[in-house]
Amino acid sequence: MIFVIGKTTCVGCGRPLEVLDDLVPVTPVLAAGTRWSGHFHRECFDRLPDRATLVRNWRGFTERLIRSQPRVFPVLASGPRILIVARPIEEKVGVYFLDWFADLRLGRLDEWDEFRDFVLGDDIREALGRADDAEIVSASERFAVKIGPGKEQARFSWTEPTSRTIEYPPSPFEAYTAAKGPLAGFVDFAALADEGLKPERTHGELSRCRGKVTRVDSTPRGYSVVYEAAAPVTLDIGRSGLEELRGLISQIEVMT
């Protein structure tokens, strides 16, 4: 399936999709037995009448792929709804949320360490032991847990770094950087437009164009600013799902 920024729409609601939306891609193979195929906002996917079938198809496909290639995907820990595997070729760890149609891939060292320490930390353990609301965020703010007072009220969320570009005509860009200095660090490009530096082309809505600048390239038409944005993923895994995740991670030895 091809995702075209500004043109691909959510099959569920018909609204345009953005690369920074929490997206669920459903291939024709995974859609077998249903009429749903394409890209969805996660909240729209979760409201589909055939959600259970689509999740079951995705879970079966994922488990068959992993179990059939143990050398490529050695299983580190396995639970009823979550599967954690090594991905040695990529030097990553994959966390598959089988009942939620989502996976998280983490670098074996710093990313995994932060994730592990966050999920197994005292803040989440203590919050699970109480009946009130709690919101816990990791040191880098990449991971977050929001727990409600209900028995199954718990959301686990993370962000996925995504490279994006925004293009500027030469003269205004050169004038701006001559006066204010080069673009660097975190930039809100909508705020720059309010200051007078308006882009010639954006990938997605300008109001959502923000992130850390990683490179500025000179092009025949002007300047292309490459930046790293954060795409969110949010799963309603409930307290029991969060407990399962904690139990699985506690079984895994420290990565080297």
Q: What is the pLDDT of residues 137-149, one digit of tens each?
A: 999 999 999 999 8
Q: What is the mean pLDDT of residues 78-87?
A: 96
The C-alpha atoms of residue 83 and residue 97 are separated, in whole angstroms, by 7
Residue 1 predicted with pLDDT over 90: no
The pLDDT assigned to 100 comes to 97
Is 39 in contact with 25 (CB distance < 8 Å)? Answer: yes
3-state SS of the chain? CCCCCCCCECCCCCCECCCCCCEEEECCCCCCCCCCCEEEEHHHHHCCCCHHHHHHHHHHHHHHHHHHCCCCCCEEEECCCEEEEEECCCCEEEEEECCCCEEEEEECCHHHHHHHHHHCCHHHHHHHCCCCCEEEECCCCCEEEEECCCCCCEEEEEEEEEEEEEEECHHHHHHHHHHHCCCCEEEEHHHHHHHCCCCCEECCCHHHCEEEEEEEEEECCEEEEEEEEEEEEEECCHHHHHHHHHHHHHCCCCCC
Q: Which residue bears the tokens 């609601």?
A: 13
Is 120 in contact with 135 (CB distance < 8 Å)? Answer: no
Q: What is the mean pLDDT of residues 172-187?
A: 94
Q: Give the burial string for 39-70 (b: 16+ CB within 10 Å, else e).
A: bbbbebbbebeebebbbbbbbeebeeebeeee
Q: What is the pLDDT of residues 19-65, one digit of tens each?
A: 889 999 999 999 988 999 999 999 999 999 999 999 999 999 999 99
The pLDDT assigned to 18 comes to 86
